[in-house]
Amino acid sequence: MLTIALTGLNATDSPGAGVAVARALREAPGRAVRLVGLSYEPLEPGIFLPDFFAKTYLLPYPSAGSAALLERLTYVQEREQIDVLIPCFDAELAHFIRLEASLKALGIRMLLPTANQLASRDKLRLAEFGAAHHLPVPATHALHQPADLPAAAAALGWPLVLKGRWYEAETVHTAAAAEAALLRLAARWGWPLLAQRHLVGQELNVAGLAEGQGHLLSAVPMRKLTLTDKGKAWAGITIEDEMLTELAQRFAEASRWRGPFELELLRTAAGELFILEINPRFPAWIYLAAAAGHNQPAALLSLALGEPVAPFGPVAVGKLFIRCAWDLIADNEHFQLIAGLGEV
Amino acid sequence: MPLKKNIATSEAGFVFNPATGDSFAANPLAAEVLKLLQAGHDLAAIRAQLLERYDVPAHQLQHDLDDFIWQLTSFQLLEE
């Protein structure tokens, strides 16, 4: 029985991937797994899925720093003997990368990109990364202060897309709307922000897994069918698209990426394909990949354990996911334990 | 003007384009035309078969077929 720890238990309207990864791991062929949840908030829905997570611990926010995270994980490890940890949030990854050797010394293995790989696909450097590796990225300008906006707008034209460093984006059509959005996003995510050329087209995603030597092991293309008001996929379908798979292969080769990733793409009516973002972790819809025959979380587990993993075969095309708003019921004591004692 | 090889059609008249993820529902006559296209018949042969089977003026059939082919083209279901 392997013990696997996961973050990203926030299965909300802007979900983390933890619950989907847990679901895929429970179906890992030939494996018995015990799952431990790692959460940042006491109301993350995954905490209230006791059939999935044998135990859940609160973690300090990433802003508390790597030392606080290591201290907490040392406490958890003394109780849980975690074999593999799978981080599912962008904002925590730098800490886990920094702590990789320390956690390995505690017996916790991970499969992560390197710090350089993580930095290379950062939203701030994506355009540069695209240019260096002939990957199509829309024109993007970094905004370090409100005064940077007019020049960016002049270069990119209206409307344009303003993005927070980690999360959130808004499409704005006028200078007044842009200034207001800029302040809203900066208040939530800090500076710098990004201004990106606005493109219209079909939104497509690829969930990928690569082993760090330039080889792509799996790529599952998905078309979003319905979106939330935050632009998150609420339903999607696996598709067959050689261009998307080839793009994922080019990314894995160019970056020698190690671990899971998600390409967020847009195809214009003229057929041009652009990479809007590269996320350095599993997407929230990753269970669809498992349902389509590519159980990437199970494969990541094998890679983290040092076992060889062969590239997956064809994706089952035409598989849909439809997210479901489902009310979990819990006793107040469950909440009190996680909120008051930090574990349940 | 053949149907793309990867287009999936069902007995119930559903059409799925795996490249785009689009699904369509075809009425019985549209499903019949799709089946003929899938079997490799050209438009002239399809027109002749339909004229033989249905009581429809030739000009009306031609108009409806043109319209249907335009729809299939716009939905990216036909080979270019």
Residue A270 maps to which CATH number?
Answer: 3.30.470.20
Q: Taking CB atoms and an 8 Å limit, are B18 and A239 in contact across chains?
A: yes
- A332 and A316 belong to one structural domain: no
Residue in A186, A233, A169 with CA at minimum distance from that of residue A15: A233
Which regions of chain A are under pLDDT 50?
none
Evaluate whether residue A53 is within a structural domain: yes
pLDDT at B12 over 90: no
Q: pLDDT value at position B2?
A: 86
Evaluate whether residue A121 is within a structural domain: no
- A239 and A288 belong to one structural domain: yes
Task: Determine the residue among A204, A243, A317 to mutate to test chain B binding: the one whose Cβ has the most chain B Cβ atoms within 10 Å.
Answer: A317
A318 touches chain B (CB under 8 A): yes
DSSP A231: S
Is residue A209 within 8 Å of residue A304, measured between CB atoms? Answer: no
pLDDT at B79 over 90: no
* Cα–Cα–Cα angle for A60, A99, A276, rounded to 5 degrees: 80
DSSP symbols for A147-194: GGHHHHHHHH-SSEEEE-SSS-EEEE-SHHHHHHHHHHHHHHH-S-EE
Task: Write b or e for each residue in A85-109: b if 16 or more Cβ atoms lie within 10 A of its Cβ, otherwise e.
Answer: bbbbbbebbbbbbbbbeebeebebb
Task: Write b or e for each residue in A57-79: b if 16 or more Cβ atoms lie within 10 A of its Cβ, otherwise e.
Answer: bbbbebeeebeebbebbeebbee
Evaluate whether residue A28 is within a structural domain: yes
Task: Specify the length of chain A in residues.
Answer: 344
Segment B37-48 mean pLDDT: 93
- A216 and A302 belong to one structural domain: yes
Q: Taking CB atoms and an 8 Å limit, are A239 and B6 in contact across chains?
A: no
Is residue A192 within 8 Å of residue A174, measured between CB atoms? Answer: no
Q: What residues does each domain of chain B span? A: 8-74
- A94 and A18 belong to one structural domain: yes
Strand pairing class (A273-279; A193-197): unpaired
Q: pLDDT value at position A163?
A: 92
- A220 and A305 belong to one structural domain: yes
- A208 and A166 belong to one structural domain: no
Q: pLDDT value at position A184?
A: 92
A285 touches chain B (CB under 8 A): no
B6 touches chain A (CB under 8 A): yes
pLDDT at B80 over 90: no
Compute the distance between CA of residue B80 and CA of residue B65 in angstroms, rounded to an integer: 18
CB half-sphere exposure, B24, CA atoms < 13 A: 21
Residues of the domain holding A68: 2-111+327-341
- A193 and A220 belong to one structural domain: no
Residue in A71, A65, A16 with CA at minimum distance from that of residue A41: A16
- A204 and A308 belong to one structural domain: yes
Q: Which residue in chain A has the smallest CA separation from B21?
A: A239
Residue A178 maps to which CATH number?
Answer: 3.30.1490.20
- The complex's ipTM? 0.77
Segment B7-11 mean pLDDT: 89
pLDDT > 90 in chain B, percent: 80
- A7 and A29 belong to one structural domain: yes
- A205 and A318 belong to one structural domain: yes
- A223 and A299 belong to one structural domain: yes
Compute the distance between CA of residue A249 and CA of residue A243 in angstroms, rounded to an integer: 10
pLDDT > 70 in chain B, percent: 100
> Looking at the partner chain, which of B6, B8, B21 has a beta carbon nearest the beta carbon of A223?
B21
Q: pLDDT value at position A145?
A: 92
Residue A21 maps to which CATH number?
Answer: 3.40.50.20
> Looking at the partner chain, which of A223, A225, A318 has a beta carbon nearest the beta carbon of B16?
A318
Residue-wise pLDDT for A247-268, tens only, equals: 999 999 999 999 999 999 999 9
Task: Determine the residue among B5, B6, B20 to mutate to test chain A binding: the one whose Cβ has the most chain A Cβ atoms within 10 Å.
Answer: B20
Task: Tell me how close the Cα of B20 comes to any Cα of chain A, in angstroms.
Answer: 6
Evaluate whether residue A161 is within a structural domain: yes
- A76 and A171 belong to one structural domain: no
Compute the distance between CA of residue A139 and CA of residue A151 in angstroms, rounded to an integer: 13
Q: pLDDT value at position B42?
A: 92
Q: pLDDT value at position A168?
A: 84
Token readout for A276 is 């809007």
Residue in A226, A234, A30, A274 with CA at minimum distance from that of residue A130: A274
Q: Which residue in chain A has the smallest CA separation from B6?
A: A240
Evaluate whether residue A65 is within a structural domain: yes
